[in-house]
Structure 1
């Protein structure tokens, strides 16, 4: 048996449960045939809590629809990574953290690609156990290390990563849970081993999403699990620009980040005191 997952690590099981639920929908916007196995028994229980908070039986929904958001996020980054992998000279993809993601197993990848999954040892061990020998569709390499450790870059390089070559990074479902100082430090370290022309993508909330009263129901669920949301920014472009990345920020529901699924209005960027989520994508200068 693998070691039990801690509170933050268990959020990966929630994501897998969301992907399993999406796969069962007749109008699904992607398929993840491994999500059911990966979410185990805990994931559906976590998802049930989210659903109860988001879709109350006796009142209208005021929280963002986590199932629709996760579906859009997954499909958006599916497409982003597949596009990046087809780019000439792009032979390195890094998922940090990898969680219960199964893109290495469910999507087709070009030859010559190295696909790195970075996450804590307990997460990667749980994932390997749940997949039960399913073979990846690419040169798949795991790096069992915490992103807050002092030398995780050395572990990644030891696995074959070449900092002198372009790479594509995906930081999905990570930055919500990390204090601002640690967020800056992780992004600085990613930038330091990303050659010019490297690509990066991530998801972020804005600052108001951490404090608005109408978000309290969702925030309380995560805090109750022991993994409160800690970081958000209203200027994601500036955050990444300061570290040498030129990025764009797209909100779910905007063109290219909708897939017919976002159920709420998309507030213009100048409107204050509203919750937002950003999908960030761009390049290292």
Structure 2
């Protein structure tokens, strides 16, 4: 069924392979017992290409460490979602897109949570097939719709989502793959159906990460797969603020997003022409 996945969706297999590899580490930041199953045969092949670009055998590493980055990102968003779910006034969690994420199956969830996974039918069918016989640990609903469709909000509501109640949204591994106009439209649409007090989190790169020469090898890998990085923001707080979200943006290696694993310096925000990734998290005003 992997031939039904588009190039961006296939990167979810890479993420699953990275999570499977992290699970095997004695110093792992989380455990994902389903990741290897979800990665299949293709995920490790994609990971091997990324490792070759990231850790060249003939010279020092100049690219960000993808395994460490992904481990930190996963743990950071695990913690974000767990904290949100502990609030008895927070009844809904939405992953858009859900990709090969298995948090509904591997993490404990309070009884009051309704958990929605939004993605194209091909992705959800692939995941359902790979996880056959494994039950989610939460009241779990899938919404088979393309996030570029005009009616995905209607489909989400039909699945039981209540726009009048607070919700928590995770946009993981999405925004740098879509043009700026689509990113802005996505934030606008989420804001329109997220009640005040709702939470949001996302990862986004800065603009320099799309153009710096020392990023070229990694960018070429993704472009070669048919899913180039298209958008970055140097001021993610201002970007989200335009749509009613008051957020904080932290970088891997910052105190709130390190976990003892980030191997590189973290330049101050006023330093120009350096690559950055931001973990954006905050609330709907």
| Secondary structure, aligned partner of 2:215 | helix
Q: Offset of 1:265 from its aligned partner?
A: 0.1
Aligned match of 1:225: 225
- Cα deviation code 1:89-124 (max 9, x no counterpart): 101000001000000000000002100000111111
3-state SS in 2 of match to 1:132: coil
Other-structure match for 2:50: 50
Q: Distance in 2 between matches of 1:272 and 1:74?
A: 27
Residue 276 of structure 1 pairs with residue 280 of structure 2: no
CA separation in 2, counterparts of 1:235 and 1:19? 29
Q: Which residue of 2 is the match for residue 7 of structure 1? A: 7
Whether the 8 Å contact between 2:85 and 2:91 is mirrored in structure 1 is yes
Unaligned 5+ segments in structure 1 are none
Root-mean-square deviation (CA, aligned residues, Å) is 0.8
Q: Name the CA distance, whole Å, in 2 between partners of 1:247 and 1:75.
A: 19
Distance 2:34 2:102 in 1: 7
Three-state SS of the structure 2 residue aligned to 1:164 is coil
Per-residue Cα deviation, 1:21-75 (whole angstroms, up to 9, x for no partner) = 0000111110000000000000000000000000000000000000000000000
Q: Secondary structure at the match of 1:256?
A: helix
Q: Does the CA-based 8 Å contact 1:2-1:125 persist in structure 2?
A: no
CA distance in 2, matches of 1:283, 1:28: 29
Q: Distance in 1 between matches of 2:183 and 2:30?
A: 30
- Aligned partners of 1:66, 1:82: CA distance in 2, in Å? 24
Cα displacement (A) at 1:132: 1.5
Deviation at 1:4, TM superposition (A): 2.4
Deviation of the 1:139 alpha carbon: 0.2
Q: How many residues are paired up?
A: 285
Could you tell me which residue of structure 1 aligns to residue 186 of structure 2?
186
Secondary structure at the counterpart of residue 249 of structure 1: strand
Tell me what 1:80 maps to.
Answer: 80
Shift of the alpha carbon at 1:88?
2.6
Q: Confirm or deny: 8 A CA contact 1:145 1:155 kept in the other structure.
A: yes
TM-score (norm: length of structure 1) = 0.99
Q: CA deviation at 1:87?
A: 1.1
Shift in CA distance, 3/55, structure 1 to aligned 2, threshold 3 Å: closer
2:187 and 2:86 map into 1 onto residues whose CA distance is 25
Q: Distance in 1 between matches of 2:202 and 2:100?
A: 16
Moved over 6 A (4+): none
- Please give the alpha-carbon distance, in whole angstroms, between the structure 1 residues aligned to 2:3 and 2:281: 34
Shift of 1:256: 1.5
SS in 2 for 1:228: coil
Instruction: Trace 1:114-129 onto structure 2 (pairs within 5 A).
Output: 114-129=114-129
Q: Which residue of 1 aligns with 2:17?
A: 17
User: Post-superposition shift, 1:2?
Assistant: 7.2
Deviations 1:118-147 (A, max 9, x none): 011111110000112200000000001111
Cα shift at 1:6 = 1.6
Deviation at 1:3, TM superposition (A): 5.7
Aligned to 1:30: 30
| Aligned mates of 2:283, 2:91 — CA distance in 1 | 15
Answer yes or no: is the 8 Å Cα contact 1:3–1:122 preserved in 2: no
1:127-170 residue CA offsets vs partner (Å, 9 max, x unmatched):
00011220000000000111111110000000000000000000
Aligned residue for 2:280, secondary structure, equals strand
Question: Taking structure 2 as the reference length, what is the TM-score of the superposition?
Answer: 0.99
Q: Within 5 A, what are the aligned runs for 1:1-285? A: 4-285=4-285
- Whether the 8 Å CA contact 2:2–2:10 is kept in 1: the answer is no
Alpha carbons 1:116, 1:143 under 8 Å: kept: yes
